[in-house]
Amino acid sequence: MSELVILGSGTGIPSLRRGSPGLLLISNDSHVLIDSGPGTLRRMLETGVTYRDIDLILYTHIHPDHTADLVPILFACKYGELPREKRMICAGGPGFKRYFQKIKRFYGSWIEPHTYPLTTKEISSKPFFFSDIKILTKSMAHLPESVGYRIEWENGKSIVISGDTDYCANIVSLALETDLLVLESSFPDEKKVDGHLTPSLAGRIARESRCKRLLLTHLYPICEQYDILNQCRQAYQGEIILGEDLMRVKI
Ligand SMILES: [Zn+2]
Ligand SMILES: [Zn+2]
């Protein structure tokens, strides 16, 4: 049984209701973190999972609202009361290794691991196998190096995570018939911004991909003034979950 925990359903704009982007996927014995916006590390403690438990971090892109807690995670792994021993992999789309080298150059030995093996990886068009999961990526319409992830289990179940994106054919094909489609839904229909989705565009992607369930996240504070669920329902008649911090969804 696998479970998705929403650590932050918001964005980079501070909100008392919604933390910055961070999703935790608990699958058998492995813990996969997808993005680590500011506050993710502390929020994760509320779910009973610590920086020592994370096996793999997948980054959708390097905007600060999705990556800001990477340095604090590495710092905690090094200076926590119990030294981390198990392997950790940090992965992202094209250019991720360069980004990682840059922060390593800047923070030097403060984040350099000594007690555990750390691997960085750029996931390309070839699938990446980790523990009991298979990870596929496609580029998204946000930054040139943005990627969305499709995670598949041997039992045929899958989850797809868009990260930040605008409407594009890639997210529809990546999400084809998935069990749980996690889409960003940054702004209400009336306030569309390039490079981001609205609830009705998210609904359109859900309809076209024939996903089983749709979960909306990455909600800017302005979304609280609109009926996001209803806007999405106009385009998609299936089950829609409006993401909230610390919500758990079984896959
Ligand atoms: Zn974002
Ligand atoms: Zn972004």
Residue 59 is part of a domain; what is its CATH number? 3.60.15.10
Q: Which ligand is nearest to the CA of 146?
A: 2
Task: Give the pTM.
Answer: 0.97
Identify whether 251 is part of a domain: no
Return the C-alpha torsion angle 23, 40, 202, 13, nearest 10.
180
Is the Cβ–Cβ distance between 124 and 137 less than 8 Å? Answer: yes
Residue 131 region by backbone torsions, left for phi larger than 0, else alpha for psi between -120 and 50, else beta: left
Residue 46 lies in a domain: yes
Residue 22 domain-assigned? yes
Round to whole Å and give the CA distance between 122 and 134.
15
The rounded Å distance from CA 195 to ligand 2 centre is: 8
In a domain, 57, yes or no: yes
**Ligand 1: distance of its center to the CA of 64 in Å?**
8
Flag whether 133 is in a domain: yes
Q: How far away, in angstroms, is 65 Cα from ligand 2 center?
A: 7
pLDDT value of position 34: 98
How many other β-carbons are positioned within 10 Å of the β-carbon of residue 96?
A: 22
- pLDDT value at residue 125: 83
* Residue 203 CA, ligand 1 centroid: distance in Å: 19
**Is position 190 within any domain?**
yes
Q: What is the pLDDT along the chain (251 residues), one digit of tens a residue?
A: 899 999 999 999 999 999 999 999 999 889 999 999 999 999 999 999 999 999 999 999 999 999 999 999 999 999 988 878 999 999 999 999 999 999 999 999 999 999 999 999 999 889 999 999 999 999 999 999 999 999 999 999 999 999 999 999 999 999 999 999 999 999 999 999 999 999 999 999 999 999 999 999 999 999 999 999 999 999 999 999 999 999 999 99
Domain around 125: 2-246
Look at residue 167 in the predicted model and tell me its pLDDT.
98
In a domain? residue 204 = yes
Give the pLDDT confidence score for residue 1 in this predicted structure.
81
Provide CB contacts within 8 A for 109, sequence distance 6+: none
Name the residues around ion ligand 1, CB cutoff 5 A: 65, 164
Closest Cα partner for 233 from 184, 189, 167, 175?
Answer: 189
- 205 by Cβ neighbours in 10 Å (0-12 / 13-18 / 19+) ranks as buried
Domain count, the chain: 1
Concatenate the DSSP letters of all residues of 111-162 into one string. T--SSS-EEEEE--SS-EEETTEEEEEEE-SSSTT-EEEEEEETTS-EEEE-
- Cross-strand bridge partners of residue 216: 183, 242
